[in-house]
Amino acid sequence: MTDELDDQIRRLHDELAGRMRADWQRDLPFGELVSDRWRRAADLGFGEGASIYDSSYVYGDVSVGPHTWIGPFTLLDGSGGLIIGEHCSISAGVHIYTHDTVAWAVSGGRVAAQRSPVVIGGNTYIGSQAIVARGVTIGDHCVIGAGSFVNRSIPPYTVAMGTPCRVVGRVEVDASGRVTLHYETESGPNEAG
């Protein structure tokens, strides 16, 4: 029985992997091949059209708005409450924490883990491998650079990056939806479209 089941699983994997390569030129782990990102998001109560990869971890009270994309290998810690707005892009490997155990560890367990909610505004992009610490609010229409450590709140329409994360520019969205990123440099403002 086990050999037969193993053969069936291998055949299923080969068939799904072949389709994925042919249709999208991608090779994915088995869990991603057999799961549906939009169905998982719906099962978690996320907004219409949201998606979340099979490889993503979700803990506690997590609310995600419509049409938000949660990339692979992400961690959404809602143990202190997590709200992510609509039309957000949470890139691969992003970790969002609403708790930490610093005081617990340093005190030898005498102090409880600390929890604070995190809010990510709508229409916000968080770059790959960024980490968002507990208690942070990121405003609407923000761009957070890849690899950033966000340990303080970020105002709306802001470009921020670094470790620790700091404001480096602003986001402009015109009436047609055209986005312009204005960066502050040592020599003055600089634009990227």
Pairing of the two strands 114-115 and 99-100: antiparallel
Kindly state whether residues 122 and 146 are assigned to the same domain. Answer: yes
Among the listed residues 95, 105, 99, 63, the one whose alpha carbon sits nearest the alpha carbon of residue 79? 99
Kindly state whether residues 8 and 83 are assigned to the same domain. Answer: no
| pLDDT attached to residue 124 | 98
| Alpha carbon of residue 71 to chain centroid | 6
Kindly state whether residues 94 and 13 are assigned to the same domain. Answer: no
CA distance 83 to 13: 35
Kindly state whether residues 3 and 90 are assigned to the same domain. Answer: no
Kindly state whether residues 30 and 118 are assigned to the same domain. Answer: no
Residue type, 36: D
CA distance 119 to 64: 10
| pLDDT attached to residue 191 | 60
Question: Which residue do the tokens 């490997």 mark?
Answer: 93
Q: Which residues constitute the domain of residue 74?
A: 46-192
Residues 118/81, Cβ–Cβ less than 8 Å: yes
Distances (CA, A) of 181 to 63, 142, 159, 168, 184: 28, 10, 7, 10, 10
Residue segments in the chain with a per-residue pLDDT below the cut of 70: 1, 186-193
Provide the number of structural domains found in the chain: 2
CA distance 180 to 175: 12
* Residue 164, preceding peptide bond in cis (omega within 30° of 0): yes
| pLDDT attached to residue 26 | 84
Kindly state whether residues 53 and 8 are assigned to the same domain. Answer: no
CATH assignment of the domain containing 112: 2.160.10.10
Kindly state whether residues 22 and 95 are assigned to the same domain. Answer: no
Kindly state whether residues 30 and 113 are assigned to the same domain. Answer: no
Residues 37/53, Cβ–Cβ less than 8 Å: yes
